[in-house]
Chain A
């Protein structure tokens, strides 16, 4: 969206190229790599979901894990009723998430700034308690999901890959559409957007619902891929923190940022976990703090940046003002 459009487009093409390479991961016949990269793709998809509301409209949400959890539980409910079909899982997750997102979004998206953030945090915590106490969902004991024949183990990998690809492409095209401009106008100045004919509530709810579908689709694939679901797994704190950190690292409000952030953060995290298992989470805190201090618009900000150091310092000053 900035001056360096061509640069950014190249990065996006590069990201699609990397996605192409990821198609070959199952061919390596390593269960470890298969699982690791499926997780990276999953977090990337969730990060795209968060990016819609947090990156494009600028409404920082801490509750997007709810959509992931709902998606996963949709698959669990279908599985307990004897339906084990990924298409059905994703379809149900999309429908339920859109309805839920609109119902919850209409009241809380009227809140601005910190109040919105706090409300979303509460939604995330409430969802955990609801799942914990609903016997239909297996309660605190969790629920088993029937996995499709182990011979199709890689099926879940490809499903997650497809979900992530759709999220990437959807983000790319939305950002260049009228819809995307409405989101960004709201982020940049809600009052000015309103005077130009944009209904803030309507477009925030749309962004929130699109993000909900992205997170929900990732959850719907995760459920059967994992084969077991309990509230702690579905609404894990990692599922809240990682997608946000990834979007911030890569670049909020960009079509490549969440994917790049997911690759980098997961890669470094994988290495750290092997060497500093107990304190690896600290790393995320440090990353987020450093990024917010020195590169608040993420790595994508550097793509196509003209004016070097001086420009960076003046932008930083403007951002902090």
Chain B
């Protein structure tokens, strides 16, 4: 039981399997997440990334294996108490409380998160200032969340997660749908969050973004872990090139070559 808290391991995924009827969304996946690190989780569509996020955040109970965090098995903890262990998450499909203001959205996290029990509503609101400043939403703090643009909604997801005072944040495609400069801003934001000692698991489609930010990367394909290592190790792994990067990269290289030869 105490292993999970040793060796700087924050989160330990042990032989996790998740079945939905006949579908094997996750199949015997194991990996560790080091404390204070940024771990990238990548894979083609339908490879099980979001399912893994849901298992780690306690939304799904795995059908086999276990997820250990701080010596506790996540599946034994009710979903609404997972954040009290220090795990926060954002949703791929953003879920703001639309009728509440941006500030109120963040305050709810501060009220009911890890330190929420000690906070009054007033304290929770006081806590939001710093977080809104950090994610650059202070300018729209008192607008209804329904008014936000997509990039700002993603920022709001991050601010709500931070309001829980977590040690570990699961970021599910927070950069999807952002343009290049917005992606750079998002990466800076994630780095500054990480610099505060928060461990991050980043699920992302954007290869460039994830390569630049992750210390280690885990690659899923069809529910199985097919590679794990540094960005360099992962991109040079034959299994990854075949299963995930293969089709895309091969095609791109081909068109690049054709363009070069044509021009």
User: Which residues of A approach B to under 8 Å, CB–CB?
Assistant: 1-3, 176-178, 181-182, 184-185, 188-189, 191-200, 253, 315, 318
Contacts and interface: CB of A to CB of B under 8 A. Distances in A.
A185 B108 CA distance: 8
B88 to A, nearest CB: 8
Nearest to B113: A197
Given A181-B111, A189-B95, A2 B84 contact: no
B144 A196 contact: no
A312 to B, nearest CB: 13
B170 to A, nearest CB: 10
User: What 3 pairs across the A-B complex have the smallest Cβ distances?
Assistant: A197-B112, A188-B97, A192-B95
B124 interface: yes
A197 B164 contact: yes
A290 B69 CA distance: 52
Interface stretch (B40-48, B75-83, B199-207, B240-248): B75-83
Contacts of B82: 195
A196 B100 contact: no
Interface of B: 57, 59, 78-84, 88-89, 91, 95-101, 104, 107-109, 111-114, 116, 120-121, 124, 142-144, 146, 160, 163-164
Nearest to A182: B112
What DSSP secondary structure best describes chain B's contact surface? mixed
Contacts of B96: 188-189, 192
Contact of A197 (B84, B107, B121): B84
Contacts of B79: 194-195
A189 to B, nearest CB: 5
B112 A196 contact: yes
27 contacts: A1-B99, A1-B101, A177-B121, A178-B111, A178-B112, A178-B116, A178-B121, A181-B107, A182-B108, A182-B112, A188-B96, A188-B98, A189-B95, A191-B59, A191-B91, A191-B95, A192-B97, A195-B57, A195-B79, A195-B83, A196-B163, A197-B81, A197-B84, A197-B116, A199-B78, A200-B80, A315-B146
Nearest to A179: B121
A17 to B, nearest CB: 27
Contacts of B99: 1-2, 184, 188, 253
B144 A3 contact: yes
Nearest to A189: B95
